[in-house]
């Protein structure tokens, strides 16, 4: 008998079940059956994730989208991202199938995507020496430059106006959020509202395809080849600004290592102007996540925004 999906009725019950392999495995196998795709012998969970995600030993990844935790919008964005990325030769998963666990259900039908697995290891678990790490950071920059060139023409899901709205919502909430997160000194937090420009003033050029969650589990590498072999998880994709995507990349994946950031910017051929640190600090405050949570720096003693901008984002020009 299949586990009862109707027990998931709230954000809390969804959170309790979302990474529960024993609960989801029978449903994953049933979903693959419904699409005529092969069942894996073994399934594993890659770790904590917003969505239930399970990787089979046959190279298939099944990602489920619930009614809670922004599941409907995540599915919409991710499916659109894979449509836009198809055929461009980037190291992103291939979309192999799309279905519903309960197509005839009166309530939520539990849509899912089937994707190809990424080659290599997540950045966070890859073993590298310093020289290789710098090479890989440059390759990440090259990948992001290619991502910027993906045409957004014809997209009915990714709207530049939605990205502007996101930045304005974040501007309104930034100071209060940082008081709760407690990574910064109270005086510095008090200065955030006056520091932040309006979103339209901050944005630079035409909207581009931006991956907003470039944390160390979403980039895959093969260090011995010096290659970035996978970019996954397009829940948080935007028609936005390249610099927004740098925030999670630098503060999570690179651990605020400015030498790695500089290598990525060179790889992306991104011009670093004197205003770059302050612009990036603005995007840091406007990001949709608590991006300072994993930054290995004690920032609580910093009392000046210019000092903070240089500490986090100052790179050689």
| Catalytically annotated residues | 213
Contact at 8 Å (CB) between 232 and 118? yes
Give dist(CA 149, CA 106) in Å, integer. 41
Helix (H) or strand (E) holding 291: none
Helix (H) or strand (E) holding 172: helix 160-181
CB atoms within 10 A of CB 159: 14
For residue 273, count CB atoms less than 10 angstroms from its CB and return exposed for 0-12, middle for 13-18, buried for 19 or more: exposed
Give how far Cα 199 sits from Cα of 131, 167, 171, 256, 279, Å.
37, 6, 8, 24, 11
* DSSP annotation of 18: T
Buried b (16+ CB within 10 A) or exposed e, 121-136: bbbeebebeeebbbbb
SS3 15: helix
Give dist(CA 20, CA 26) in Å, integer. 11
SS3 116: strand
Query: 129: number of CA atoms within 13 Å, CB side?
Result: 3
Contact at 8 Å (CB) between 167 and 284? no
């Amino acid at each position: 008998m299949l586990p009862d999906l109707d027990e998931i009725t709230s954000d809390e019950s969804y959170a309790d079940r979302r990474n529960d392999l024993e609960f989801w495995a029978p449903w994953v196998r049933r979903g693959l059956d419904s699409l005529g795709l092969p069942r894996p012998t073994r399934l594993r969970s890659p770790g904590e994730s917003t969505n239930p995600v399970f990787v089979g030993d046959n190279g298939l990844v099944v990602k489920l989208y619930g009614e809670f935790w922004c599941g409907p919008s995540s599915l919409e964005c991710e499916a659109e991202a894979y449509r836009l990325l198809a055929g461009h030769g980037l190291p992103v998963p291939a979309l192999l199938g799309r279905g519903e666990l309960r197509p005839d259900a009166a309530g939520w039908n539990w849509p899912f995507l089937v994707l190809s697995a990424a080659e290599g290891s997540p950045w966070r678990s890859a073993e590298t020496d310093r020289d290789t790490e710098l090479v890989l950071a440059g390759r990440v920059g090259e990948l992001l430059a290619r991502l910027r060139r993906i045409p957004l023409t014809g997209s009915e899901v990714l709207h530049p106006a939605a990205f502007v709205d996101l930045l304005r919502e974040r501007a309104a909430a930034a100071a209060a959020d940082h008081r709760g997160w407690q990574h910064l000194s109270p005086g510095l937090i008090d200065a955030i509202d006056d520091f932040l420009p309006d979103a339209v003033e901050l944005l630079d050029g035409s909207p581009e395809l931006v991956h907003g969650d470039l944390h160390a589990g979403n980039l895959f590498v093969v260090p011995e080849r010096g290659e970035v072999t996978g970019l996954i998880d397009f829940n948080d994709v935007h028609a936005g600004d390249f610099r927004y995507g740098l925030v999670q990349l630098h503060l999570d994946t690179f651990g605020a290592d400015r030498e790695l950031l500089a290598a990525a910017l060179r790889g992306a051929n991104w011009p670093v102007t004197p205003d770059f640190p302050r612009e990036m600090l603005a995007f840091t405050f406007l990001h949709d996540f608590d991006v300072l949570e994993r930054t290995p720096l004690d920032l609580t003693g910093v009392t000046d925004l210019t000092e903070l901008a240089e500490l986090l984002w100052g790179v050689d020009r």
